[in-house]
Amino acid sequence: ALITLRQLLDHAAEHGYGVPAFNINNMEQGLAIMEAAEGCDAPVILQASRGARKYAGDIMLRHMVQALAEMFPGNHIVMHQDHGNNDATCLSAIRHGFTSVMMDGSLEEDMKTPASYEYNVEITRRVTTAAHAVGASVEGELGVLGSLETGEAAAEDGSGAEGKLSHDQLLTDPDQAVDFVLATRCDALAIACGTSHGAYKFTRKPDGDILSMETIRRINEKLPDTHLVMHGSSSVPQELQDLINANGGRMPQTYGVPVEEIERGIRMGVRKVNIDTDCRMAMTGQYRRIAQEKPEEFDPRKFNAPAMEELRKLCRDRFERFGTAGQA
Ligand code: G3H
Ligand code: 13P
Ligand code: NA
Ligand code: ZN
């Protein structure tokens, strides 16, 4: 059944586990994620970006999620808007059956220009008031997602922003987080702790200096009732890079967030863990492998079935390691 983000993350906080939020754009991703969730009795957050809504269409997404809820009656599902950029995006998502929205006011509506703190508070407060009135949850974001290694802010389109930011600018300030939550009443808060979106996060395996677990710990201590969200949580597994590159791909060597660092984050209080890039890579590795190994093949199902199997394995691993398995 569909539930709100608040309902699911209250349970996760009480029982000390994390929930992966997987991005979906099509039926194959939806089925694979839900089969993994069913296989290990896990609740799940499905999230659609603005790009996903444009790709699949709101009516298709709404019916797809309803179909998934009907096909997998034993699993709690949250349907969430990823990175909403204004009131209209968030409210139309709710109208289309989303039970939760992210109002990302850390950036202006163009999702490129860093926004003022005042703008962020005002728009997040407005969206939260409207969402709560109809029983939906809200995730806000405070801080600049970006790599502490390079000092580059991460624009939502994956390109680095101009100029270098300091270590402090790339981490959410705990006192400001308290002020933000009091002013906006959001249910969950995306924080900056050194991760960035996309495949190219780090040029070496990140350690404690690059990812700030201390930031997570301090914010969680001050905001026990607000659920912390870690964006940019793909691990960019080496074996997926290798498979893609062994079959004609050209991904430069890169490093993501090791799963053990996410597990540490969950112990420090992270409850929602956003993963998109790993899911894309799991499927693309199989598309490339089939294309290479069976050049005579042209039935899309012969490409999609192994891609779904690989995505299923990836999701199941995250459910198990985040402690979501068994909490359906
Ligand atoms: O944070 C962005 C997500 O990975 C979604 O990406 O806008 O290309 O659908 P997208
Ligand atoms: P990744 O690019 O690391 O998968 O992050 C996805 C994300 O944060 C979506 O909001
Ligand atoms: Na931000
Ligand atoms: Zn994100």
- Closest by Cα among 183, 63, 161 to 115: 161
Residue 313 lies inside a defined structural domain of this protein: yes
What's the pLDDT at 148?
A: 62
Q: Taking residues 181-204, what's their average pLDDT?
A: 96
Looking at residue 170, what is its pLDDT?
A: 84
The DSSP bridge pattern shows strands 100-103 and 270-275 to be unpaired
| d(C-alpha 319, C-alpha 129), whole Å | 32
Q: What is the pLDDT of residue 159?
A: 45
Substitution site in 234, 270, 315 for ligand 2 pocket (most atoms within 8 Å of beta carbon): 234
The answer to whether position 128 is within a domain reads yes
Point out the ligand 2 atom lying closest to the alpha carbon of residue 23: 9
Helices 277-293 and 27-39 cross at an angle (nearest 10°) of: 110
Mean predicted confidence (pLDDT) in 82-97: 98
Question: What is the tens place of the pLDDT at every residue in 146-165?
Answer: 766 666 765 444 444 445 67
Q: Structure tokens of 60?
A: 């298709």
Listed in sequence order, the residues at least 6 apart from 111 whose beta carbon sits closer than 8 Å to its beta carbon are 83, 85, 104, 155, 156, 157
What's 22's domain CATH number?
Answer: 3.20.20.70
The answer as to whether 79 is a domain residue is: yes
pLDDT of amino acid 259: 97
Rounded CA-CA distance 205/192 in Å is 18
pLDDT of residue 158: 44
Domain that holds residue 266: 5-322
How many Cα atoms sit within 13 Å of 190 on the Cβ side?
Answer: 31
Residue 175 is a catalytic residue: no
Could you give the number of structural domains in the chain?
A: 1
Residue 176 falls inside a structural domain: yes
pLDDT at 149: 66
Secondary structure (3-state) at 47 = strand
Residue 53 counted as domain residue: yes
Q: What's the one-letter identity of residue 135?
A: G
Annotated catalytic residue: which of 82, 173, 187, 317? Answer: 82
Check if the beta carbon of residue 142 is closer than 8 Å to that of residue 100: no
- In DSSP notation, 171-233 reads B--HHHHHHHHHHH--SEEEE-BS--SSS--BSS---TTTS-HHHHHHHHHH-TTSEEEE-S-
Kindly state the average pLDDT of the residues 222-248.
Answer: 98
**CA 233–ligand 2 middle distance (angstroms):** 6
Task: Summarize pLDDT for 270-309 with one digit per residue, the tens.
Answer: 999 999 999 999 999 999 999 999 999 999 999 999 999 9
Residue 49 CB less than 6 A away from ligand 1 = yes
Any domain includes 227: yes
Q: How far is CA 208 from CA 118, 158, 321, in A?
A: 31, 24, 20
- pLDDT tens-digit map of 245-268: 999 999 999 999 999 999 999 999
Residue ranges of the annotated binding site for Zn(2+) are 83, 104, 141, 197, 231
Q: Is the beta carbon of 111 within 6 A of some atom in ligand 1?
A: no
Q: Of all helices (H) and strands (E), which one includes residue 129?
A: helix 117-133
Residue 42 inside a domain? The answer is yes
SS3 call for 97: coil
More confident of the two residues 137 and 158: 137
C-alpha closest to that of 120 among 168, 86, 155, 157: 86
- pTM for the structure as a whole: 0.96
> What pLDDT is stored for residue 152 in this prediction?
72
Tokens 């249910």 correspond to: 187
In a domain, residue 327? The reply is no
Q: Could you list the residues known to form a binding site for dihydroxyacetone phosphate, using ranges.
A: 198, 232-234, 274-277
pLDDT digits (tens, 9 = 90+) for 24-72: 999 999 999 999 999 999 999 999 999 999 999 999 999 999 999 999 9
Q: Which alpha helices (H) appear in 195-249, and where do they start and end?
A: 213-222, 238-246
Average pLDDT value over all residues in the chain: 94
Write the burial class of residue 241 (CB in 10 Å: 0-12 exposed, 13-18 middle, 19+ buried): buried
Q: How far apart are CA 3 and CA 14, in angstroms?
A: 17
Partners of 301 in the β-ladder:
none
